[in-house]
């Protein structure tokens, strides 16, 4: 748990969940462009709208092996490693109805702007796709994780750093159980629901229903700005 690597650790892939001591839970992640800071609340990589409402070319049902989908890239160059463990979902119907979702096993083909990508997924499509179909193609929430921004939430919370994973390396973050998390200067007491930052990057704050912030757990200690407090994490 307390190491990082330029390749996946052992047999684990990005997003895999394991239990640790005392009911703790952990997710295998790929760090983004900056090293992770221990005790910081983390977020998935920022939304990239180039991978929403994407065009496809006709794709047939594959009953004899791995299903591949023919998707036209936007204007952003992609890498196979970045999208492994991500998802493809039907956004606009075209042969197949909206709502169908597939896990990405790999991406090949032309990965540059406007290229014809070949995306391998975990199961066969139910009905052959037509060119009127559009898809959303998303990275795994645990691929390219970053420090949670100070104010504007641009993704979902994915865990707390327990080790300073280097930029672009793989390792583990904590998502469940008792952990130590950076606190901001808000006023909250033991037992308060905690949410994503409202002013200090990587720090938890008091959670208020109806806001744009996500709930991540419960405080076991009063707020203490610039300190790591004990938190019962409930992200998973």
Q: Percentage of residues in the chain with pLDDT exceeding 70?
A: 99
What are the structure tokens assigned to 42, written together? 């983390």
As beta bridge partners, residue 157 has 43
Residue 66: pLDDT band by 50, 70, 90 thresholds? confident
What is the value of pTM for the model shown?
0.91
What whole-number distance in Å separates Cα of residue 99 and Cα of residue 126? 12
- Is 80 exceeded by the pLDDT of residue 210? no
pLDDT of residue 12: 83
Question: How do residues 163-175 score in pLDDT, each as one tens digit?
Answer: 999 999 999 999 9
How would you classify the pairing of strands 25-31 and 143-147? Answer: parallel
Q: For the purposes of burial, counting CB atoms within 10 Å of the CB of 10, is it exposed (0-12), middle (13-18) or buried (19 or more)?
A: exposed
Q: Is the pLDDT of residue 206 over 80?
A: yes
Q: What is the reported pLDDT for 209?
A: 78
């390749």: which residue's tokens? 7
């Amino acid at each position: 748990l307390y190491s990082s690597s330029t390749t996946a650790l052992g047999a684990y892939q990005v997003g895999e969940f394991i239990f640790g001591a005392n009911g703790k839970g952990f997710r295998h992640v790929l760090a983004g462009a900056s090293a992770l800071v221990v005790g910081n609340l983390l977020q998935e990589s920022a939304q990239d709208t180039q991978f929403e409402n994407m065009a496809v070319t006709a794709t047939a049902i594959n009953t004899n092996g791995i299903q591949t989908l023919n998707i036209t890239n936007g204007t952003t160059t992609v890498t196979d490693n970045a999208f492994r463990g991500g998802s493809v979902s039907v956004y606009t119907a075209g042969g197949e109805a909206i709502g169908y979702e597939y896990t990405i096993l790999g991406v090949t083909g032309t990965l540059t702007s406007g290229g014809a990508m070949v995306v391998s997924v975990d199961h066969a499509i139910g009905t052959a796709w037509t060119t009127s179909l559009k898809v959303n193609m998303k990275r795994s929430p645990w691929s390219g994780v970053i420090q949670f921004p100070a104010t504007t939430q641009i993704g979902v919370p994915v865990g707390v750093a327990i080790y300073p994973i280097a930029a672009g390396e793989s390792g583990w973050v904590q998502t469940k159980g008792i952990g130590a998390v950076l606190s901001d200067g808000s006023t909250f007491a033991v037992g308060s629901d905690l949410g994503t930052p409202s002013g200090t990057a990587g720090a938890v704050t008091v959670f208020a229903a109806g806001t744009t912030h996500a709930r991540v757990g419960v405080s076991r200690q009063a707020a203490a700005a610039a300190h790591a407090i004990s938190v019962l994490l409930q992200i998973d």
